[in-house]
Chain A
Amino acid sequence: MPFVYHAPRTLENLFATLDSLEQYSLLAGGTDLIVKWKEKLIDPKAVVDINGIAAMKGIEECPHCFSIGALVTHYEITASARLRAAATALYEAAGEVGSPQIRHIATIGGNIVNASPAADTAPALLALNAEAEIQSRTGISAILVADLFTGTGRTCLKPGQIISRIKVPASGQNQGSAFVKFGKRKALAIAVVNGAAWITIDGDKIKDVRLAMGAVAPTPIRLLAIEDWLRGQTLAASTFKTAGTMAEKLVRPISDIRSSAEYRGDLARQVVIRALETAARRAKGGCACG
């Protein structure tokens, strides 16, 4: 059915518009929204196009972190040399989303709020310990992206709340991150399993680590138990292999059109091994993106 279209140009106008509407859908890239609308899975009375809001755009570098506007496209992330160097997992994940056409339009904010368990940027943001800035008419607060998801397709955002920007800590000396995806094709494939690792090394030991996976649970998840075990371990192939085996045992994936649960378990092991190995190599190499 037809809908009313609003295109506020400022956050103030946006919140005033949202207040005036009983029901609405926010339109950023629209690469998921329009498909759902065409398939009649949603029937919004109003579509609020937020693409004109400058405060939600651009990649800014602050001390030790990046502030990425929710409207930043996946393409913009893949075009950022700084993100490539200091938020490598996110840079890699953004390059795996959809196709060039999708990446030119689809936004990181949209990829998050869709709350797909298989969203490619989600494991990267979880591993990098990114925070989402939640804004509403009454104010602004921050929440870990990891705490945003409440279920498949659901977030803790309330009506009138939006994600305006995403804060991603920058990796520095002795730190590295990596993203790994298994899809059925190299492009336009929803992940069968994806995952990301962030690691800090101290000599030949793992000083700190974060591991996240997608498509193995109703939401993207952190593998906290494996992280705990990994801290203090020696950087070695056998360490990563053990972590992989732990991941296979830990995750409880489902069988669906893309894969059986058993195969997802297998892939979970591989994703963890490869993500850890690559992140560790980058941490050691000095150059985070190597």
Chain B
Amino acid sequence: MDKIKIQFVLNGETRQVEVEPDLLLIDLLRERLGLTGTKVGCGEGDCGACTVLLNGKNVNSCLLLAARVNGCEVVTVEGLGSYDKLHPLQEAFIAEGAVQCGFCTPGMLLSAKSLLDVNARPTREEIARHIAGNLCRCTGYTKIINAIEKVACADRHCACSREAEEGR
């Protein structure tokens, strides 16, 4: 089987790799490139644990042939922030208790980022709708939405609607 040469930007770095036609992006990331932050939950695009950003948009890496990212930009959780420099979403997830088992967390963070990148002031309903493709089986959605909202609020220097809701 002929391999395909692809070039893409992964977490800000240009990568050139040779892939088999049937290699999936998730397997390229996890098994070839050692980026195990992206998870496999269902393998069929239902759970969102494999979510990465493709040209800034959240997608299921378990449903994408690696060959298709040729010329594209891919961001995984490893590209979001580091121990020294956490992304505000990562800080908010820790502070708001939005991390339980942690398996949905990488995908959830990337879906949140893709939302805030196009809509800096989402309502709670817009947040819920945008993370609808990311299952948290620990069912910690309220705190996840709180965390995303906290980042959105910090951006716009305004009183958080949740704080208003809770009468704080």
A–B contact at 8 Å CB threshold (below): yes
Q: Does A246 touch B at the CB level, under 8 Å?
A: no
Per a CB cutoff under 8 Å, which of B48, B65, B130 touches A5? B65
| Residue with the greatest number of chain A CB neighbours at <10 A, chosen from B24, B63, B64, B67 | B63
Cα–Cα, bound, A188→B59 (Å): 14
- Cβ contact within 8 Å between A186 and B65: no
Query: What residues of B have a CB within 8 angstroms of the CB of A27 in the complex?
Result: 65, 68
Least Cβ distance of A20 to chain B in Å? 15
A2 is contacted by which of B20, B48, B58 (Cβ under 8 Å)?
B20
Which residues of chain A have C-beta atoms less than 8 A from B2's C-beta? 4
Q: Which of A3, A4, A47, A101 contacts B60 (CB 8 A)?
A: A101
B78 to chain A, nearest CB (A): 19
How far is A19 from B20 in the complex, measured between Cα atoms in Å?
A: 24
Interface-located stretch among B7-15, B39-47, B86-94, B149-157 = B39-47
Interface check A105, CB cutoff 8 A: yes
| Total interface residues in chain A, CB < 8 Å | 26
Q: Does B63 lie within 8 Å of A2, measured CB to CB? A: no
Contact A100 B64 (CB under 8 A): no
Shortest distance from the beta carbon of A84 to any chain B beta carbon, whole Å: 16
Known contacts A27-B65, A100-B130; A5/B21 CB under 8 A:
yes
Tell yes or no: B29 within 8 A of A by CB: no
Q: Does B76 contact A (CB under 8 A)?
A: no
Instruction: List the B side residues contacting A30 at CB < 8 Å.
Output: 63-65, 68
Number of B interface residues in the complex (CB < 8 A):
30
The answer to whether A3 and B68 touch across the interface, beta carbons within 8 angstroms, is no
User: Is A49 an interface position by the 8 A CB rule?
Assistant: yes
Determine if B51 is an interface residue (Cβ-Cβ < 8 Å).
yes
Q: How far is the CB of B125 from chain A (nearest CB, A)?
A: 10
* B-side contacts of A51, CB under 8 Å: 68
Q: Which residues of A contact B (CB under 8 A)?
A: 2-5, 7, 27, 30-31, 34-35, 38-39, 47, 49, 51, 75, 98-102, 104-105, 186-188
Query: B interface vs A, CB < 8 Å?
Result: 1-2, 4, 20-22, 24, 43-46, 48, 51, 54, 57-60, 63-65, 67-68, 111, 114, 129-130, 132-134
